[in-house]
Amino acid sequence: MKRREFIGLVGGAATWPVVALAQQPEPMRRIGVLVGLAENDPEMKERLAGFRQGLEKLGWSEGSNVRIDYRFAPAGTQVHLLARELVALQPDVILAQSTPATAALKPETSTIPIVFAGVADPIGSGFVASLSRPSGNLTGLLQYEEGITGKWLAMLKEIAPNLTRAALLANPRTTPFDYFLRSAKTLAPSLAIEVVPMPIENANDIERSIEGFAREPNGGLVLPPDTTTVIHRDLISCPQFTRSVFSSQRVVSCSTGLTSSNCTDRRHPMLTASCVAQRLLTFRCNCRPSSKPSSTSKRRRRLA
């Protein structure tokens, strides 16, 4: 073998390990997901499908180059146990949906990045130091700015001008109740509305609270985003329950954290802007429609 050929052969052999290394597949990445609704919940299925689609657009395909470990803690059920399970798997990053999920994950790790969603008050909940400088290993999206509850009250007043009372219904264990209550009480006097705090924990509380509140006329409901009320959304928005409770009172039911239902009562779709996007809200009431088109109706036609 000629000297030049031998040198070329040796030089090529020296690059074999480098070439072989470059052809090896990238290591499988791992994502942990802890959410506040049940696995079979239709809304959660849609959200997770959108999450996977977003990952695919960024080049991450589940089962191909990324593994996703899901844990479901509806309304905070066994959330601390599930948080420990996820952290023990040592994922590269964790997605936390809801305040209880984020609160359970925070003390479990200070090194794994945690991205939260569906959190209304990350500062008050102790998740971040500030919006501009979160610090630590947690970051995410602010679901609603604090003044949004006052805007919900204003829309209720526009729909039902005779409204004098508004109940704020949510579970303080699964949503920052005081965060929304402060905003409601700040704006309520200018709208001549009395805000009635209505903390609940389960389905029995929801039914008992709404029935008691509906005994007096000219009342309305405000439901902040809350995994507890989302789980029991069929109870709150079902036609039979709504008609039986609100049959003789002028009551408006404002659904903000709930998905649409098959209720046949009159509906008032409106758009409101949160800090990140616009969301379609559905308002149901059994008030007799006005013969004159309202400003709400005009706005609805413009937005359609």
Q: Map out the domains of the chain as residue ranges.
A: 29-142, 148-303
77-103 mean pLDDT: 97
| Cross-strand partners of 282 | 255
Are 29-142 and 148-303 in the same CATH fold?
yes
**What's the pLDDT tens digit per position in 94-130?**
999 999 999 999 999 999 999 999 999 999 999 999 9
Query: At the topology level of CATH, where does 29-142 sit?
Result: Rossmann fold (3.40.50)
Residue 11 is given by DSSP the state H
The per-residue b/e assignment along 66-90, b for 16 or more CB within 10 angstroms, e otherwise, is bebeebbbbbbeebeebbeebbeee
Burial class (CB in 10 A: 0-12, 13-18, 19+), 260: middle
pLDDT at 298: 38
Task: Name the band, by pLDDT with cuts 50, 70 and 90, for residue 284.
Answer: very low
Task: Read off the pLDDT band of 24 (50, 70, 90).
Answer: low
Average pLDDT over residues 12-40: 71
Domain 148-303: CATH architecture, name and number where available: 3-Layer(aba) Sandwich (3.40)
Closest CA to 66 of 56, 80, 78, 75: 56
Mean pLDDT for 35-55 is 94
Structure tokens at 183: 């905003």
- Residue pair 179/272 in contact (Cβ under 8 Å)? The answer is no
